[in-house]
Structures are given as C-alpha cells and as structure tokens.
Structure 1
Amino acid sequence: MQNLHLLALLFYSTFFQFLAFSSTQNYQYYYNQEKNYEGSSDLIDLKYHMGPVLASSINLYLIWYGQWNPKHQSTIRDFINSFSSPAPYPSVSDWWRTITLYTDQTGSNITNTIILSGEFHDFKYSQTKYLTRLSMQSIIKNAVTTSNQRPLPLNYHNGLYLVLTSSDVLVQEFCRAVCGFHYFTFPSVVGVTIPYAWIGYSGTQCPGMCAYPFAWPKYSGIKPPPGSNDHIMGAPNGDPAIDGMISVIVHELAEVSSNPLINAWYAGDDPTAPTEIADLCLGVYGSGGGGGYVGVVYKDSWGNGYNLNGVKGRKFLVQWVWNPVRRRCFGPNALD
C-alpha cells in the first residue's frame, strides 16, 4: 500500500475560482465548485467500503503547534466543547447528528460523543516551521513522548489527534492546494495506528483561500465591494481566519470519523482519490446553497453570518455535509 502517495492526495480541496456580478444596490458572490450538491441527487456515488468508522466515544486531543493567540485558542476550544454541551437550536451538536447517521458493517453508528480530553502546546516548533504532511505524525509522536511537559496519552482505543499550526508555520501545499487533511499514523513513526487531522491558520498566508466566505479571494482579480473591508461576510467570532478555520476543522472531523482508515465512506472506487462526505458540500452553508452561493444563513446583531449556536453564546458558520438519508447536503439550519 502506497501510504505516502495516499497521504499526498487526501486533502480538503479548496480551489476557489471566483466569479461575481454587481448592481448599484446589491452584490452577490460566486465561485465555481463542481462538488456542491445542495439538492437531492441520484448521481452521487457515495459508498461504504466495509472499513471502520469512529463508533466509540471520541477523546479529542488538541496539539497547538507554534505560537498561538490565547483568544484564538479560546474560540476553537469553545467550538470543540460545543459538541458535548447544550446550546440553543440549531447547535453544533445538532449539526453532528447528520454524521451519526453513518454506520459500519455491524450497524454501529458514528458516535455522538466528542470530548476534549487533552491539549499539548508545541510552542518551540519541535519539527521546525517548515512541515511536510508526514511531519504531522512526528508532531504527534513528540506530543505523546516528550519529557519537557506533560505528554498526551497515546490513546489507540478511541483517541483522535488534531494538529493545529500557527500563522508562521509553512506546511506542504498549504494555501496552494490544501487547508487541512486527515489520515492515520504509521506504527513505524508513532508506534500505533491512530486517526488524526491537521488544519492550518490562514490569517497571514491565505485568508481568501482558507477563510472564505469571511475573507476576500484577492487572487480572483475582482475587487471587493466598497466598504467591505476585504470581507465578504462578517466573522461571528471576530477573526476571519479563525472562523474559517473552524469550518475546516469540522470538515475534517466529519471525514475522519466516517473514513478514518480510508476504507469506509467515500465516493468512487479509488481510495487514492476519495470524495468524502464533506467534500460533496464544499461552500454550502444553508438552504439554496451550491454553485457558489453559500445559502440562507442567520445574521447576528452586527450582521455577521452564522448557522450554528455553541457554548458561552458563541455562534459559528460551518459548511454542511452529505446526509445519507435525505441524499443531499444538510444542516440543522435548513429551511426544509
């Protein structure tokens, strides 16, 4: 099995090619994204390939790689805690119910329990500021073996490791082709096989690529509307990169839960190029979304867009995922 080849091809694809038109009173923004399907479709070839899903309660471990703003950490931490805490409908936990519809060959559903079980701060850049995809596994190994601070447990029963890189870290193909990816560790590197995901902070490198729809894609060749401050939609937690990063985080959590070993739920018969349950709904955040329109979402009192509620009064805007029962992209803020 060509593991490195697979790793290089598994990513959250975000090639946004933007088109726009305007009138004197109204602006609407569009990008080409051929994998958006808000409506029901019989053309989606999503299949189960007999592998495991994350059916046991997930113990999630955060690895903060690099120098992080505590305010940004707090926002992401609150989002993770929103999976297991009550919040007004539609909540983050309501959104996750779509993920729990996916089962394994025994009929066991993906768990509805995600608990933030530990954090590790790799503030000394143990693998330098220039990372490859394989570097993520070395970062995890360092986090579970270091003697410089309390290490994370090596939980191969129900552990899921999330590597988050700070704004000054350069990652292979980050911004050029990827915003995040998920895979599993190699026993030769970490000692066991455990699922993990990586997501980068795009604030200084490519907010227009990885923080859409909160940041303007400057490479599009289209100028933002007057007074927009280079933002298409206001970020509900005050930072376009962090709010965009949260949507990438949930994208990867959905896919690593439904396809942790790259042999469970995906479209197509080639695991080297899978289209997973979140890939099918890139750019769709509400009813009517698709073809470049984010869909109908809520607005807070400042006019910032959101579609989910979280702990401590937080609000988040995250993309929808493919619902296997409704056979369309879906989220709890749907109008139907």
Structure 2
Amino acid sequence: MQKLHFHLLLLSLSCCFVLALSWSQSQQFSHAKNYEGSSNLVDLDYHMGPVLASPINLYIIWYGHWNWRHQTTIRDFIYSLSSSSSFPSVADWWRTVRLYTDQTGSNITGSIVLSGEFYDSRYSQGRYLSRLGIQSVIKKAVTSHPRALPLNPYNGVYLVLSSSDVQVQDFCRAVCGFHYFTFPTIVGVTVPYAWVGYSGTQCPGMCAYPFAWPKYSGRPPPSTNGGNNIMGAPNGDAGVDGMISVIAHELAEMSSNPLVNAWYAGDDPTAPTEIADLCMGVYGSGGGGGYIGNVYKDSWGNGYNVNGVKGRKFLVQWVWNPVKRRCFGPNAMD
C-alpha cells in the first residue's frame, strides 16, 4: 500500500461526505438498481488513486453491548475472507474484488487478517453517533490504555460495528453502512474505515434483506402454502446475517476505493457508484428487479451463496467483475 499516499491525498475537511451503502426501499424492492448483463450502461473508471494492495490488518471496534454469538459469526466471516473453504467460498467471492488494480498494476490483496479488537461497551461517544462521531470512536479505540488498538497508517483498516441499541446518523433511514477515511485532526492520521450497524431490532426489513420483509405501503410479504415466504438466515439471526452482507459490501468498496479517488462510476466523487453499488440486491444468477437470484438452500431451507470456515454459510451480495463486465459471484451458473 506504500502508506496509500495518505497525507498527499487528503480532501478538504469541510467536505465530510461519506461513501454510503444506501438501502432505500424504493431502490431495493421496486426499482433495484443493478446492472447485471448491462455492461454498456456502466462507466466504471479508475481515477489513479490507491487500492488496498498490501496485506490488510483489520481491526474491529465493537461499540455498545454485543451478543457473543453474533460476534463469533462476524469473526468467522472475516476469517473466511482469506481462508480455504469448500467451493464456492467467501475467499472465492473475494477473488472478484482482487481483480482491481492500482496504477502500478498491483492487485487488491488476498490477505485480510483480524489483527485486533476493541470493546467500547461503555458507549464512549453516547448512544447516538453522528457520521463524524464515528471517527471519535476510532480515536478512543487507539488511545485507550492499557489495551488500545494499534494506530496503523500503513496497512490498517478499522471496522466500527454498532450494537442494536445504538442509533447512528442516517442509519435505517438512508444507510446500513458506509466507508470513508479518518481525518488527522481527529484521529491523528489518515486510515480507511467502515461502519456497519446491527439492524435486527431497528430496521431488519431494510438492512437485513432478504431475511426480513420491508414494512412499507401496507404491502404484506408474498405467501407460499399459507406462510410468509421470507428466506431463513443461515446463521440463525436475520440482523447479523444481513449485517455480514453489508460488511462484505463495504470491505469490497473500501479496498477498491479507500480514499475516494480510485474505482468508481460517475463524475462526482461525493456521490460515486462503487463496485458493490452496481450490484445492489443481486446474490445469484438472474438477480435483479427485487429478485435476489438463484442461491443455495441448506438442510433447513436457509439461503446462502458462499461457504466459510467452521462449516459456516453466508449470503453476500455480488460485486462488479471488471473482466466479465457484469455482476458476478462464485455461485454464478454460467
């Protein structure tokens, strides 16, 4: 990563915009915006900035009170990103992300190591977080003694995960997660980071789709044999299984566009369409228009499309493949 040229690439601090995963109901269920099979409509360009090419040291900050089972599921997903599992695996899914390169021809790394965790169970910044306030959460995590996280400006990535009782600016209303980079005036250095919230109690219908049905316009979920046709969560909790797909989305985009000047479509870096945005709501072949696509079912009928460590199964959104010029995942049928 060669320090990602961090300090040469800072934008004006007054901008304070973020790259957000928008899960508005109208986009996802009425007019799902994805481009599977529509390569002529996509103008995905490289803007000469860095990608995360060096091995990533990932640091998790658990903000609030967390269920240990949920934490274990999320850790296992992180471990799965660079571990061998039966095909199609999480690591196989990440290979599409790895196709993206920087101006030197270096690919995004395949090594993602969970290098540290910090537990902010005392809600150091309160139970409501602004977008900018999330950077103060990171500051707390890297300055608390005696168990502070390393402040790693070379190949560190920070993942802030907020618990079910924490409200975050625009969470559930406009976003389920976002990524950006820290400001030296707050954290001390510039490092890429992402935030994702647990939606199981606040807005599962928006951020845990397709494991929960959105409540809007009084429209009920479709019925099959007299029951609601809602896909079961492969790890037993709609909130955490939905959250994992958002984490995957943000890690893919953070790796390919960490400083808002690498891979994205559109002319406006304040509102880019990134490699996962292009495939919103697509998890398998044929997906689009509110249909997630063809995915597998486990012995309990729960949906998944990739395998992980310890026999785990996950459902993660596809990303844009720059070689095939379409949305793609390892469970593709072609």
TM-score, normalising length: structure 1: 0.93
Percent identical residues = 74
Q: Which ranges in structure 1 are unaligned for 5 or more consecutive residues?
A: 19-29
1: distance between equivalents of 2:314 and 2:151? 31
User: Given the superposition, is the C-alpha separation of residues 273 and 159 from structure 1 closer, same or farther in structure 2, using an over 3 Å criterion?
Assistant: same
Maintained 8 Å contact 1:145/1:151: yes
Question: Higher mean Cα deviation, 93-102 or 149-158?
Answer: 149-158
Alignment of 1:1-336 (within 5 A): 1-8=11-18, 10-17=19-26, 31-147=29-145, 149-226=146-223, 232-336=230-334
Task: Return the letter of the residue paired with 2:21.
Answer: Y
1: distance between equivalents of 2:229 and 2:148? 39
User: Given the superposition, is the C-alpha separation of residues 111 and 323 from structure 1 closer, same or farther in structure 2, using an over 3 Å criterion?
Assistant: same
- 4+ residue stretches of structure 1 with deviation over 3 A? 1-6, 225-231
Task: Return the letter of the residue paired with 1:15.
Answer: S
Task: Give the count of matched residue pairs.
Answer: 323
1: distance between equivalents of 2:188 and 2:128? 24
Maintained 8 Å contact 1:40/1:326: no
Report SS of the residue matched to 2:78.
helix
- CA shift for structure 1 position 291: 1.3
2: distance between equivalents of 1:194 and 1:137? 10
Q: Which ranges in structure 2 are unaligned for 5 or more consecutive residues?
A: 1-10
- CA shift for structure 1 position 7: 1.9
Give a deviation string over 1:267-320, Cα, whole Å, max 9, x none. Answer: 011101100000000100000011111000000001000000000100000000
2: distance between equivalents of 1:189 and 1:81? 30
Maintained 8 Å contact 2:32/2:280: no
Report SS of the residue matched to 2:34.
coil
2: distance between equivalents of 1:146 and 1:251? 29
Task: Return the letter of the residue paired with 1:185.
Answer: T
Report SS of the residue matched to 2:39.
coil
Give a deviation string over 1:3-62, Cα, whole Å, max 9, x none. Answer: 453525x210111238xxxxxxxxxxx822442112141120100000000000000000
Task: Return the letter of the residue paired with 2:301.
Answer: G
1: distance between equivalents of 2:38 and 2:107? 23
CA-based RMSD of the aligned residues comes to 1.5
TM-score, normalising length: structure 2: 0.94
- CA shift for structure 1 position 326: 0.2
